[in-house]
Structure formats: structure tokens, C-alpha cells
Amino acid sequence: MKDVLKLILFVVLGFSFVAQSCKKDQNDIIITQKKSDIDGFVIDENGIKVKQALVTIGSQSVNTNDQGYFKFKQVSFSGHLYVKVEKSGYFLGSRTVFPELSSNHHVRIKLIKKSLSGLNSESFSASTGGKVIYQSITAPAFSKMELTFPANAIVDANGNSYDGTVRVSWQYIDPTAFDQRETMPGDLVGLNTQNEQVFFGSYGMAAISLTGSAGQSLNVKSGSEVEFKLLIPSSLQSSAPTSIPLWYFDENIGLWKEEGAATKTGGYYIGKVKHFSFWNCDAPFPLVSLRGRLVYNDGPVANTSVRIKFVSTGNYGYGRTNQDGVFEGKVPKNELLQLEVTDECGVIIYTQAFGPLSDNTDLGNIVIPSSTSQILTLTGKVLDCNNVGLAGAFVLVRSGSTDVALTSDANGNYTGRIVMCNSNPITVTAYNLTTLKQSSSVSVANSGAVAVPDLVVCSDPITADEFILVQSSTGINSIHLTNLNLRLLFSNPGGNTTSATMVSEDSLHYFSLGCAGLQLGQPTSINYISGRTTDGYSYFAQGTGGTITQGNGAVTCTQVAATIGEYYEGTFYYNGATQIFNNITTPNINLTGSFRLKRKQ
């Protein structure tokens, strides 16, 4: 990703759920190596899928596909899984999950867009300091958040004093909102000053980024403090404590860490921070592990929203069931709790009171009555081009802006029970994530038991406006969809060129190809070709002194763009390239590919 994330502040105001000391009751944290599959969707604030976002777990990284989907198989972890999502122009997204017994976990992460001008953006002079105020957008206007900076308190990333204009890009996050679980970082779990794991609930959140006039990242000078003031939602003000500790989010481990305190003043919390990161105000108390399984009749309810209400405060913890209907995570110890299952519109379809819990608990199977919700039960099969069952296919079920992912078994069969919330049409599409093929989409009923027609994964999957697809003779494929550029020199106005360069200019996932020209139906020789993906795979043309043998590769256009706004489409090949994958170098591989790029000059 070319743009490095700028300085980020994420303030979360919360209160834990057991009003007693946690030292004696805190369970020892036993580090055990585990493995789990994890998949999910990345969406923006409008529910639109974010493609080509970089998703990282430990040392492994993948990009989301065109549906905003990602999947990791058999990831090793100790204690918890930490998922980070990066996309230029957005705040860092993340999720921390605590798989115990289940072998797979599903998440949904919503990215918050940064704004450097207009709504949700303010500025001040670093030399004089100043106060910036985040106003509500509804009348009458009121302050949701304020930051007060002292004079001469800002430095750049190298620690040098900065006295220019500071741009503040931020977003207030309502902790009572239904999508709070998807937008907040990590989970409502942290480590106190005694390194004990505790649980808490939110009383207000904010995402804040500071940049200079040239777009450089900024920070707070050592020894300086910034005062922040955050609105406490009206429904939580009666339970909000007068003083609670401050916490920052450790982006390296995916947990909060205690540092400082905040005080309740009127309907706000006010505190000071000495550095910018994700921040949180909570009172620390002990926790236990909770697990359960949602079922309908004789099968699981997959990919469904679950939240746990803490009765004494009104705060919530959030999660989703996996493909087996299992949910699991951390909840406060010795508290009355209430399980709430919601549809994708946030409507509660099932509740169950339980607790207090003094130890780790498995609620077992929880039956969701058919009369309480709109349940869609899907069964079907995915086939390859030879009509043989396709194992491990990604099956996308779409209803409006809501997506659910299923996976086919060893014989290509899949099944899923999904809680729907509206009458939007349902479409089902299958993908082979190895060959990059897809099936046609089929429409089905949005409730009841539905047998989906066989999905044959045999079609070109690429429906993006622009793309570059590269396929290797070793079976490794890559697709480039972002930061695409086509540089051209023309020989005539009809679209034929004397030279061309195709690039995907992303520092972590790039592609570059130069050729003697783009001619309709006529092969032109490749001058150079190279590329890299985020999973450690790279390739480049062989040769001596940076040159390659002419005639080893060519580009052929099936369509040329006569005017700006039209598209070049075609194919290319190069024989005799070198591949590096998992630190193993393989010479003499063959590359083939296709492209669709817009003419912009």
C-alpha cells in the first residue's frame, strides 16, 4: 500500500461490568498454540464492499477480492486472532477474536473514511495551538467531541518540531449504534497495568488522524498533552462512572493497554493523552469465556449477528456466528447477561437471559424458533468445468448490501441457514479462488427452504471496470485492480500506439509491463515485465544486464481505444521468466495474462 497510514487516534469511552477488584479473581492466561480458519467481509460506512484492501494476520497477508471477501486457512495463534485491514484513505480497521473450540471464525469489518476537508475535518495552527470541535449534523447542533492542543506541541514523524497548519480528520462513533462492533478496533478486551486480561463496555468512541499541510504524519511532542472531550450517549449517562482509566489500543497485539484516566463532567468524559493511538476509557474487571451455537430445527444458523447485553449498565458486546452457527468470546464475570440475536437490519429476533457466570461457559445449542424470523435455508452444489463437485468453493449469498459467505465441502455441496431481514432479491454465486473462475449468478426465494440450482464455476470472473490478470505456468495467479495506469505514445489517432506501459502502482502488490505498442490484432514485443503480490510471490523477466530476449513475449489487443474514455483490451504472454515464492527461486516459467484498461490521454 503506497500511502502509509497517518497518525491515528481512536478514543473509546467505556465502563467494565463488575464493580470489584480483579486481582484475586483473574484467571491465569495460559498460552496454547491453536489453529483456525478465519474469513470475512470488509465494507465501508455505506455498506459497500471494499476490494483490494490489505488484510493481515501475523506474517500472512491477502487482498480482499471484488466482493470485499477474504479468507485465511489454518492460521496459528496463541490466545487470540488479530485481523488488521489497511486501505488508503481509511482509518485502520481491525478485529480481535478468541476462538476456543471451533475451527473457523467469521468477521465483518467496517472501514471509516478519512476526510481532510469539509465534513468531519478541522484544522489549527501548531505554533499557537487551538481547539477543534466535532459538531452534530442534526439540528440543533451540539458538540460530540472536542480536542484542545497547546502551543508548539506538534512534531513530525522524525521528532522535528512542526509549526504549520495541522489537519484533523475524525469521526465520532456512537457506542450504542448497531454497527459499533464492525467499526471499533479489536474487541472490548484489554490488559491492565498488572497485565491481567479484562473486559469492558463503551461510553463513546472517536477516530482521529493528524496530518500536516504536505500530508505528512504528525504526533504530539514528548512532554506535551492534548485534552479530549467526548459525548456520553444519553442512554448510558446514568450508568457512566465519575472516573475511569484510559486505555490505548496496541496495534501490534490487538488488545487495549491501560494508561491514564478520564473524568465525567456533565454529559462528557474529559481526559488527557500524551501520544496518539486508539484510545479507550474503561474500568477494568475480570472476564470469562463464553461459547454457544445457534440452530434452527436440525441445522446451524450461519453468519448471524449476536450481542450480549450487560443488564446492570446497558452496554453490549458483539459477535457473529460462523458457518457452523458457533459464537464465542469474552464476557464479564459474575454479571447478569442477556443474549440477543439480531437480523441484518438490527431487529432483535431472539433473547435469552443467563448468568451470572463464575467460570468459562458453553451454552450449548440455542434453538431459534422459526416463527421469530425470516430464515433462509439454502442447499446446493458447486461444479467445475467438467461437472465434477468443486471442493472449497466460495459461495456468495447476496441480499441488497448484505453478503453471507458459505464454503463447499469435499464433494462440492454446501448448506446454510441465514437470518434475513427484508424482501430484497437473493442471488447466489460461486467462485474458485484458485483459478479465479466464477459461476453465473442465480436468483432464489428469500425465505424458507431453497434448493439452489447447480453452480458451474467455469466463466471468466473479471467484471471490474479495469484489471490486469497474470497467470503462471506454476499455477499461481494474481489479479491487479487498483492504482492502474496505461502510459501511451501514439502513431495515429485510431488507437494504435508505438509504445505502451501497463502498471499497477501499489508498493505491496504491483505489476509493470512495457511493450513496443498496442496494435489491434497484431502482436507487439514485450520489453520488460515484473510483478509482486502480498503473499511473497514475485516474478520478473530473465536476461543479462536488465535486458530480455526479444521474441520471448508479446501483447495482442482485441480492442483499441480510439478516444479518451474507451478501453484497451487484450492478452499477453512471456516465456522464460523467473519466479520467487516462499523464498524458492524457479527459473524458466511461462506467464500469460489479460487486461482491460481505460485510455486517459
Q: What is the pLDDT of residues 296-348, one digit of tens each?
A: 776 788 778 888 888 887 777 777 887 788 888 778 888 899 999 987 777 88
Point out which residues pair with 228 in neighbouring strands: 147, 271
In this predicted structure, the answer to whether residue 8 has a pLDDT above a threshold of 70 is no
pLDDT of residue 149: 95
Compute CA distances 554 → 81, 315, 504, 538, whole Å: 45, 62, 19, 20
The secondary structure of residue 180, as a DSSP letter, is H
Give the span between the Cα atoms of 463 and 465, in whole angstroms: 7
* 356 prior amide bond cis, ω within 30: yes
Give the span between the Cα atoms of 318 and 327, in whole angstroms: 10
pLDDT of residue 390: 92
Antiparallel, parallel or unpaired: β 54-57 and 510-515: unpaired
pLDDT of residue 16: 34
pLDDT of residue 399: 76
Residue 441's pLDDT band, with cuts at 50, 70 and 90, is confident
Q: Hey, where are the domains in the chain?
A: 7-19+113-281, 373-456, 467-598
Q: pLDDT (tens digit, 9 = 90+) per residue, 551-585?
A: 588 888 888 888 888 888 888 888 888 888 767 78
Average pLDDT over residues 217-239: 88
pLDDT of residue 33: 58
Residue 140's pLDDT band, with cuts at 50, 70 and 90, is low
Residues above pLDDT 70, as percent of the chain: 82
Average pLDDT over residues 27-46: 69
In this predicted structure, the answer to whether residue 27 has a pLDDT above a threshold of 60 is no
pLDDT of residue 382: 94
The grid coordinates of residue 436 equal: 479465479
Residue 19's pLDDT band, with cuts at 50, 70 and 90, is very low
Give the span between the Cα atoms of 379 and 374, in whole angstroms: 17
Q: pLDDT (tens digit, 9 = 90+) per residue, 348-403?
A: 888 999 989 999 999 999 998 765 556 778 899 999 888 899 988 888 888 766 67
Give the span between the Cα atoms of 485 and 532, in whole angstroms: 16
**Angle (nearest 5°) at CA 288 between 283 and 289:** 130
Task: Please spell the DSSP secondary structure of 441-485, one letter per residue.
Answer: PEEE-SSEEEEPPPEE--B----SSSEEEEEETTS-EEEE-SSEE
In this predicted structure, the answer to whether residue 281 has a pLDDT above a threshold of 90 is no
In this predicted structure, the answer to whether residue 542 has a pLDDT above a threshold of 80 is no
Give 284 or 233, the one with higher predicted confidence: 233
Among 56-60, 103-107, 182-186, the least confident range: 103-107
Phi, psi for residue 134 in degrees, rounded to 5: -95, 110
pLDDT of residue 100: 60
Classify burial at 574, counting beta carbons within 10 Å of its beta carbon; exposed 0-12, middle 13-18, buried 19 or more: buried
Residues above pLDDT 90, as percent of the chain: 16
Total-model pTM: 0.57
The contacts of residue 355 (CB under 8 Å, 6+ apart) are 331, 335, 336, 337
The contacts of residue 600 (CB under 8 Å, 6+ apart) are 485, 486, 564
Average pLDDT over residues 413-424: 76
Among 43-47, 394-398, 480-484, the least confident range: 480-484
Q: Which of 310, 133, 314 is nearest to 238 (CA)?
A: 314
Give the span between the Cα atoms of 119 and 115, in whole angstroms: 7
List the CATH code of the domain at 373-456.
2.60.40.1120
How would you classify residue 371: left for phi > 0, otherwise alpha for psi between -120 and 50, otherwise beta? Answer: alpha
Q: Which class in CATH covers the domain with range 7-19+113-281?
A: mainly beta
- The DSSP element (H or E) to which 183 belongs, if any, is helix 180-183
SS3 assignment, position 10 = strand
Mean per-residue pLDDT of the chain? 79
